[in-house]
């Protein structure tokens, strides 16, 4: 019943910005931590950012200072604002629900491409 629907990916030049959105359906959204993962070709999926149910945020070192995760519980939506994008940020980005430390539901992914 739980579905995560992502949007906002695209192609940008280095230094550009994108804002990803993830709308969550069929979930008691406010009770769960949410996270963003990414997977580049030939690489394992890696955690980018996480936000707890009460709004505490954590970031991968590669994202810290450039990316901002946020949530709007009234809209059942989590966001990832990405600024100063670099070519190494190129990946498919996934919205993921976190249930007691388990990554239990994943979105379909949205492509982010950073190139000149």
pLDDT tens by residue, 62-94: 999 999 999 999 999 999 999 999 999 999 999
Q: Average per-residue pLDDT in the chain? A: 96
pLDDT tens by residue, 3-45: 999 999 999 999 999 999 999 999 899 999 999 999 999 999 9
The average pLDDT across 88-101 equals: 96
Cβ contacts of 6-12, under 8 Å, gap ≥ 24: 6/93, 6/94, 6/95, 6/107, 6/108, 6/109, 6/110, 7/110, 8/110, 9/93, 9/110, 9/111, 9/112, 10/111, 10/112, 10/113, 11/113, 11/114, 11/115, 12/85, 12/112, 12/113, 12/114
């Amino acid at each position: 019943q739980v579905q995560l629907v992502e949007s906002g990916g695209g192609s940008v030049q280095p230094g550009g910005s994108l804002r990803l959105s993830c709308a969550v359906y069929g979930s008691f959204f406010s009770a769960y931590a949410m996270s963003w993962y990414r997977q580049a070709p030939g690489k394992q999926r890696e955690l980018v950012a996480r936000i707890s149910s009460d709004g505490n945020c954590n970031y991968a070192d590669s994202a810290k200072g450039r990316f901002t995760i946020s949530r709007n519980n009234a809209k059942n939506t989590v966001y990832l604002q990405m600024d100063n994008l670099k070519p190494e940020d190129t990946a498919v980005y996934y919205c993921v629900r976190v249930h007691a430390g388990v990554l239990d539901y994943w979105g379909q992914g949205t492509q982010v491409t950073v190139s000149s």
